[in-house]
Structure 1
Amino acid sequence: MTSTRGRSLLPRWRAALVAFAAALSLLFATTGPAAAAEGSWQNLGGQATAQSAMYSATIGGNVYDVVRGSDGNVWFRFNGGGWRALGNFEAARTASPPRIIEFPPGRAFVAIRGMNSEIFYSQANNGSANFWTPWQQIASGAWAMGSPWLSLSSVTGSLRIDVPRYDGRINYEYLMHDNGTIRPGTSWTYSLGFQLAGNARDIEGESQIALWGYGWPEWQSYFTGGDGHVYRARTDQRNGQVTNVDQVPGGGICHSGVSAARLGNQTAVVRPGAGGYANQQRILISCTGSDGMTWINSSSDGGASWTGWRQPSGSPAPSSATPAVNATYDTWTVTIRWNRARSTLYPDNALIGKRIT
């Protein structure tokens, strides 16, 4: 009797186990991080050649691009149009890439390291694509070695500017605005929380983003250490104190600075549960590896875990400069300065990029 019932029940148990395993497999497959979709590498700069990657900001649906040109001056374009010099040639000369951000709301703000190691800024005037305010110095005593890092404070509404110094320390400054008119800062302060290597990687600058951390808004600074590994410093926006410095896992070695960007609303930090929070927790970082190629790493949980270092899909992408990672609400664009000595696919120093979602 038992053998008869056992023969009849065994196939049912096997079927149930198979169904359970399939359901479990489906559960894990659907709850894991989604693979990023990538476009192909394309020439995004037209005939232009440059000494930096291309940095961009999308403001009111319009795209502003800036680069350090082959002549050492800052060049910009509006919505993919022709390239133009940004301001007076002599005033716009720089040894590091320019950086761009939306500040105050609705206006493009560009900051550069001047040839005297001070930091200067210019704004697109009244939203115009072709008219920029004269370059103005931000306080004095920046002693900047590389490009400034720009990020917004959700606590005060100010713009935080960090600059790497020649001794590896970080100077920072806050800019406020009155109804769109910027109030320049008075002096630079150096951060006590962490220190850079103070080598050539810092010349093109590292990166800083603003997002919701573990209970409060924070800045996350990404930089290449003296050992070539990538590190992250977390700073509490409420008091400006560095709360933690750790190495981005994966063991990657960078021969450039690090570029970083997060998705979501680019002008405000949202809390958990609010619309767009999940997008803001998605971070992409990039650098030029020891092989001269472009490498990326990503996180979908605000930097708590990472997918690991890898080359973007498609042909290997050699870069002669630190890659730039530019972000909109739902798309990153990685741009590089093509190194023709390693690949003849594009002209030397062309502005090449790809989109990642």
Structure 2
Amino acid sequence: MKKIFVAATALATSLLAPATATAATACVQLERGNNNDIGLASMPGGPLDIYQTGLGGSVLRTQVDPRTNAVNSFQNLGGVSRSEPAAVSSADGHSAVVVRGGDDGLYAMQFDNGTTSGWQNLGGRITWNPHVVSLGPRHLIVFYRGTNKQLWYVEHANGVWGQHTSLGGVLTSSPIGVSTRPGHVAVVTRGQADDLYYIERTGSTWGPWTGLGGRFGVDPIAVSRGPGLVDVFVRTNSSRVAGISFNGSSWTPWYDLAAPPGSAVSEPGAAATGSGELVVFVRGGEVRTPVRPIWRNSSFDGGATWSGWVVVDSGYGTPSPNNPEAVANAFGGWSVAATNFPTDARVGPLRVCSSTP
């Protein structure tokens, strides 16, 4: 990745206009949690798999029905994780989770209609949180930053894990992958000048690195609304949320989604739902009290207009620093989750909220 110094990009203020209403939201508090961010995977058949790193580094899996908030199952998967878990579902009844292990190697576990692969040591040496993307039924690709700070990936197809391959670059954040259609995958990450970069593969061919500009100090998030479309969101250094979008051939300028009332927002989560809602989540905005609820900002016209920030869940009664993790669920809506306990605590509850139109 070339080090390119890009002038700070002006953030154009986006129009605030609720295009249509978000479906009613229901939340549930689970009495299991830790002080790490979580991984979410939504299965096409409906269940939501929630992965956490527990005390001692073991990985916990909780399955929730987003329509009723009923807990279907809870499992301690063991293992030793030194990262946030990353998760994805690639088919009905299937989910996968990847972590950085205690030896800094890459580990994966897959579930297929109740059958588990057990922990698989994929090798490699990881220096940040990995990220996993589904390219089709039981077709996975995992991205991570290696010891040389380059972007690496390893792919699972036809029941077999392939070789670890470097794409170069100099990463200063976790790589975030996104697929816009079968056979396509892209990665967004932060470069050594704290600007964002994008690289994509169509079929078996990787394109060049593209600089997106900006100056940021945290990980971005990326989602897709459809074939060729990518939306990227990130917290700015002034604690606002900025977005940039790709239409398949060109990028928009950076635009400003501002922030909820107050300040100190978290890194954003995001989802693009089957009902056409593009939604961004943050935690924070309340500077006068220790309460930091989850907020959302929604667009139903591809990011042209936005609803403005609305509280999703005010049940967060503590100033936990954890970031909200979000996913489009199987019912045309979204699910968002985060832990809910004081900054210095090691355990506490986890809250999950879902919109199911």
TM-score tier by shorter-chain length is 0.5 to 0.7
User: In 2, distance between residues paired with 1:45 and 1:217?
Assistant: 29
Cα distance in structure 2, aligned partners of 1:58 and 1:210? 15
Alpha-carbon distance between aligned partners in 2 of 1:313 and 1:70, rounded to the nearest angstrom: 36
Superposed displacement of residue 171, structure 1: 2.3
User: Which of the residues 183, 187, 196 maps onto 1:161?
Assistant: 187
Q: Helix, strand or coil: the match of 1:39?
A: strand
Q: 1:150 to 1:317 in 2, by over 3 A?
A: farther
- 1:145-224 equivalence runs, <5 A: 145-153=172-180, 158-177=184-203, 183=204, 185=206, 187-191=208-212, 194-197=213-216, 199=217, 201=218, 205-211=219-225, 218-224=229-235
Whether the 8 Å CA contact 2:259–2:265 is kept in 1: the answer is: no
TM-score (norm 1): 0.66
- SS of match in other structure, 1:146: coil
Code of the residue aligned with 1:299 in structure 2: it is S
Shift of 1:228: 1.0
Distance 1:316 1:153, change over 3 A: same
Q: Which amino acid letter does the alignment assign opposite residue 298 of structure 2?
A: S
For each residue in 1:311-334, what CA deviation from the matched residue of structure 2 results, as whole angstroms up to 9, or x when unmatched? 635344665554322333335443
Correspondences of 1:46-65 after superposition (within 5 Å): 47=54, 48=58, 52-61=83-92, 62-65=94-97
What code does the residue aligned with 1:219 have? Answer: V
1:255 positional shift: 5.3
Distance 1:35 1:322, change over 3 A: same
Q: CA deviation at 1:294?
A: 6.2
Structure-1 separation of matches of 2:239 and 2:210: 26
Find the aligned partners of 2:183 and 2:346 in 1 and give their Cα distance. 46
Task: Determine which of 113, 117, 123 is the counterpart of 2:145.
Answer: 113
- Structure 2 vs 1, CA of residues 223 and 115 (structure 1 numbering), >3 Å: closer, same or farther? same
Contact 2:266 2:282 in 1 (8 A): no
Structure 1 residues 34 and 188: alpha-carbon distance in aligned structure 2, compared to 1, 3 A threshold = closer
Distance 1:195-1:105 versus aligned 2 partners, 3 A rule = farther
Tell me how far 1:74 sits from its aligned partner.
3.8
Q: Within 2, Cα distance between the matches of 1:137 and 1:334? A: 32
Contact 1:256–1:287 (Cα < 8 Å) also in 2: yes
* Aligned positions, number: 283
Cα offset, 1:227, TM superposition: 0.4
Cα–Cα, structure 1 residues 318 and 121, in superposed 2: closer, same or farther, change >3 Å? farther
Q: CA deviation at 1:68?
A: 4.1
Q: Does structure 2 conserve the Cα–Cα contact (< 8 Å) formed by 1:209 and 1:262? A: yes
State whether residues 218 and 235 of structure 1, in contact with CA within 8 Å, keep that contact through their aligned partners in structure 2. yes
Return the alpha-carbon distance in structure 1 between the equivalents of residues 103 and 297 of structure 2. 34
For the pair 1:94 / 2:127, whether they are aligned, the reply is yes
Aligned to 2:253: 244
The structure with higher relative contact order (CA 8 Å, sep 6+) is: 2
Q: Deviations over 1:90-133 (max 9, x none)?
A: x14222x221211255412111122211111122342x4xx533
Q: Give the RMSD, CA atoms, in angstroms.
A: 3.5
In the alignment, what sits opposite 2:336? 334
1:231 aligns with 2:260: no
Change in Cα spacing, 1:63 to 1:37, as seen in structure 2 (3 Å) is same
Q: Percent identity?
A: 17
**2: distance between equivalents of 1:285 and 1:292?**
16
Any stretches of 5+ residues in structure 2 without a counterpart? 1-19, 33-49, 60-80
- Letter of the structure 1 residue corresponding to residue 282 of structure 2: S
Instruction: State the Cα deviation string for residues 173-207 of structure 1 (Å, max 9, x = none).
Output: 22132xxxxx353642323xx4132x2x2xxx211
- Assess, with a 3 A threshold, how the Cα gap between structure 1 residues 186 and 231 changes in structure 2: closer, same or farther: closer
Runs of 5+ consecutive residues of structure 1 not aligned to the other structure: 1-30, 178-182, 265-278
Larger radius of gyration: 1
2:24 corresponds to which residue?
35
- 8 A contact 2:28–2:351 mirrored in 1: no
In 2, the alpha carbon distance for the partners of 1:53 and 1:41 equals 18
Deviation per residue, 1:21-75 (Å, 9 max, x gap): xxxxxxxxxx744322223345344742655544321111111123445665444
Q: How far apart are residue 284 of structure 1 and its match? A: 4.0
